[in-house]
Amino acid sequence: MAVTEAAPRPVQRRGDVLFAGLARAAAVTILLALAGVAIFLTLEGAPAVTAPASARGGEDDIVLYVWPLPFGTLLAAVLAMLIATPLAFGVALVISHYAPRRTSRTIGYLIDLLAAVPSVVYSLWGIGYLGTRISGLYVWLEDNLGFLPFFAGPASTTGRTILTAGVVLAVMALPIIIAITREIFAQTPTLHQEAALALGATRWEMIRMTVLPCSRSGMVSASMLGLGRALGETMAVAMVLSATGVVSFNLISTSNPSTIAANIALQFGEASGLKVNVLIFSGLVLFVITFGVSLLGRAIAARGVKGDSR
In the window 271-290, what residues touch other proteins (CB under 8 A)?
272-273, 276, 279-280, 283, 286-287, 290
Cβ–Cβ < 8 Å for 182, 92:
yes
**Is 120 strand, coil or helix?**
helix
Query: Contact region for other proteins (CB under 8 A) — 61-69, 187-195, 241-249, 265-273?
Result: 265-273
Per DSSP, the three-state class of 250 is: coil
The reply to whether 265 sits near other proteins by the rule CB under 8 A is yes
Question: Which residues inside 165-184 make contact with other proteins, applying CB under 8 A?
Answer: 167, 171, 174-175, 178
The answer to whether 127 and 160 are in contact (CB under 8 A) is yes
Give the amino acid at 100: P
Contact set for other proteins, span 46-75 (CB under 8 A): none
The stretch near other proteins (CB under 8 A) out of 19-27, 48-56, 58-66, 143-151 is: 19-27
Which residues contact residue 269 at a Cβ distance below 8 angstroms, ignoring those fewer than 6 apart? none
Q: Is 152 in the site for other proteins (CB under 8 A)?
A: no
88 binds other proteins (CB under 8 A): yes
Residue 213 interacting with other proteins (CB under 8 A): no
H or E segment and range at residue 36? helix 14-45
The per-residue DSSP string of 158-190 comes to S--SHHHHHHHHHHHHHHHHHHHHHHHHHTS-H
**R_g (Cα) of the chain, nearest Å:** 25
Instruction: Give the range of 1-9, 179-187, 202-210, 243-251 binding other proteins by CB under 8 A.
Output: 202-210
- Is 114 or 255 the residue whose CB approaches other proteins more closely? 114
Out of 3, 26, 63, 191, the residue judged to bind other proteins by CB under 8 A: 26
Longest dimension (CA), the chain: 97
Q: Single out the segment in contact with other proteins by CB under 8 A; choices: 37-45, 51-59, 151-159, 179-187.
A: 37-45
User: Which residue in the set 75, 79, 91, 165 belongs to the binding site for other proteins (CB under 8 A)?
Assistant: 91
What mask of x and - would describe binding to other proteins in positions 215 to 244, judged by CB under 8 A?
Answer: ----------x--x--xxxxx--x------
Cis peptide bond N-terminal to 154, omega within 30: yes
By CB under 8 A, name the one of 74, 78, 114, 139 that touches other proteins: 114
Q: Which whole-number Å values give the CA distances from 147 to 106, 144, 158, 165, 166, in the listed order?
A: 44, 8, 22, 22, 21
Is 121 a binding residue for other proteins by CB under 8 A? The answer is: yes
Q: Which is nearer to other proteins, 249 or 268 (CB)?
A: 268
34 binding other proteins? (CB under 8 A) = yes
Residue at 182: amino acid letter: R
Nearest CB to other proteins, comparing residues 51 and 178:
178
User: What's the min distance (Å) between Cβ of 269 and other proteins?
Assistant: 7
Helices 14-45 & 274-309, crossing angle to 10 degrees?
A: 120
Q: For residue 40, how many other CB atoms are within 10 A of its CB?
A: 12
Of the pair 218, 283, the CB lying nearest other proteins is at 283
In the bound state with other proteins, the residue whose beta carbon lies nearer, of 197 and 255, is 197
Residue 243: strand pairing partners: 256
**Closest CB 140 distance from other proteins, rounded Å:** 10
Give the total residue count for the chain. Answer: 310
CB 211 within 8 A of CB 132: no
Q: Could you give the CA distance from residue 122 to residue 169 in angstroms, rounded to a whole number? A: 9
Per-residue x/- track, 92-111, other proteins (CB under 8 A): -xx---x-----------xx
Query: Which letter does DSSP use for residue 257 in this model?
Result: -
